[in-house]
Each structure stands twice: as C-alpha cells, then as structure tokens.
Structure 1
Amino acid sequence: MTTLTHLDDEGRARMVNVGEKPVTARRAVASGEVRMRPETLEKIRTNSLAKGDVLAVARVAGILAAKRCDELIPLCHSLPLDSVDIDFELDDALPGVRVSADAQVHSRTGVEMEALTAVSIAAMTIYDMCKAVDKGMVIEKVCLLRKEGGRSGVWERSAASESGPGEGEE
C-alpha cells in the first residue's frame, strides 16, 4: 500500500515538501465527457447558441483553471506551467463533447491535478454556456489518462484501471 504523503505522522493534512526533489519534465493528459441532447450538440457545432462560441470560451476557461489549480485545491503546489492544450471532439454517438487536456511543466511535482482541473472546468463551462437549452446535460468520466515524469516515470490508464483505484504518487 502506498504511503499517503499529504498526511503527517499524526494524520493531519500537510503540503508535501518537494524542495529536495529534482526538477524534471512532467506531463499529464486527462479527459472527460459532457453528454447532451443531439439538438444541443448541433447548436455547439453550428455556433448558434446565444452565449457565443461555446468551445472557444471553454478552452480559455480550462487553461485559466489549470493555471489557478493551487488556488482551488488546498494542498496543490503552485506550478509554472509550460503549456496547457485543451481539445474537444464533438461526438454524435455520445451525443456530446469529449474534452481532453494536456498539461506540461518542468517542476519538482506532477501536473495531474492541473490537467484534471482543466478538463473539469472546460466541461463545466460547456454546461454553463448550454444550460439555457439543455439543463439535463451530464458531466462524466473525468479521469487521468497518462502521466509522465518524476520518480515513477510513465503511468497510463489501462482497461484494468478503468474502474478501480490506481497507484498513488506525489
């Protein structure tokens, strides 16, 4: 079992000291989905919603969220992000929008939370931009797909890790 690094010897929450860890290139890729009515997806596709370009606003919101992750999640470190890319796939079979975020940094700690936060906020922004026409949308399947760098190297989501807990790391 992995030791929980965010707890001290007495079980109290703490921010992990990463000061002695080497700076390495790190990357994390996360994804999620926003399911919606086909009519809502078509409005996104044709850019015909009253609030404007849904995906452009969601992309900027996701990037901003990644940059401010440490202000939202109490024990996250501030990271000088090298890049954050947000992509969308309009999927008629879902129907809905698949959201992905790729975050990269040269730092002493991983960038997984930034990628997950970017996906979450981009998805929530899609919901906000479309809620006037579809309050029944569902945000789901937000997860880490891949992480690179640091002591543990590369981790990639597999079919075996789809529904169960994964290995922990700071």
Structure 2
Amino acid sequence: MKNLSLSNIIYGVVAVMIFIFVIKGFVEYMPAIDAARTEAAQNKGYENPTDEQKSKVKLSSKVDNQVKGAVAGDAMVTLSMILLFAAIAGAVALPVFTAVKEGQLKGLVYMAAAGGILLVLFGIGYLMASNEPYEKYGVDASGSQMIGGLLGMVYILAIVAILGIVANIFAKRFN
C-alpha cells in the first residue's frame, strides 16, 4: 500500500472501466446479431422466423462488421463520455482540494473569476448565435443556439489569444 498513488488509482479505474465495457460489448453483440439475422430472414420471406430459419441465414461479412462496429462504437462512446466527465471533475476538484489543503484561498478566487469570465463569454456567444434548427443532423433550435454559443466563445477566446500574442511581440520589440 506504500506505492498507492493517485495516478495508480486512476490507471486501475480506467482499466476496470475498459474491462467492463468490453464485457458489455460482448453481451450486446449477440442480441444485435440476432436482430440482423431476423431482419435478413424476414427479407427472404419468413414472417416470424424461428431460430432454425435464422441460423440458415448467412450474413455477409459487411453486415457482421457493421454490427460489431455499432456495438463497439456504442460502448466506446459511453466509455469516452464517462472518462471525459471524470477528467472534467478532476480538473475542477483537484485544484480546489489543493488550494484548500494549502490554505491558498486566493487561488480559489482566481479560479472562480476565470469560470465567471468563461460563462460571460459563453453568454455573449449564445446571444449572437442563430437558433435555426438543423433537422438533417437532429439538432433542434435550442441545441443549435447552444452549439453556436460554444463556437462563439471559442472564436472570442481565439481572437483574444491572437491579440495577446501580437501584443507580446510588440512589447518585446519596443522594450
């Protein structure tokens, strides 16, 4: 237990999560392949195909690969989202714990100010964004405005970063 560090705990949690999602993929594969065989049997003229009729249907490797890809993709998207939220929680929580532990509450004020500035920039981007729905991509009006707000915030931050770089170059030239 002497060498138990935060990074080892994180590696262990990630390894267990990957193992769980691999098992989840195997469990979801059988019903998905059964559904593909049922659909193929129905296309051959069987209304309610039995297991024997479904077993006679040979799926092409393309269909089999599509089923495998869909099952693996679903599991990996879920895993990615869980890891993303865990990373965000860690990125927010660990500096807070460190600042409280070390008694540097001024750092918490700076962190809160940075979060407030990001919220204001998002609000500006959100107000500038169009709320036109994109049915082709399954995005409604509120989702469209939310995406536009995030893009607006990124554009504003990119412009500020570029202006900061240019200002830094000029400041170095004239000093």
TM-score range, shorter chain: under 0.3
Length-normalised TM-score, structure 2:
0.24
The structure with the larger Rg is 2
Task: Point out the structure with the larger helix share.
Answer: 2
Length-normalised TM-score, structure 1:
0.25
Task: Point out the structure with the larger strand share.
Answer: 1
Flag the structure with more relative contact order, 1 or 2, with Cα contacts below 8 A and sequence separation at least 6.
1
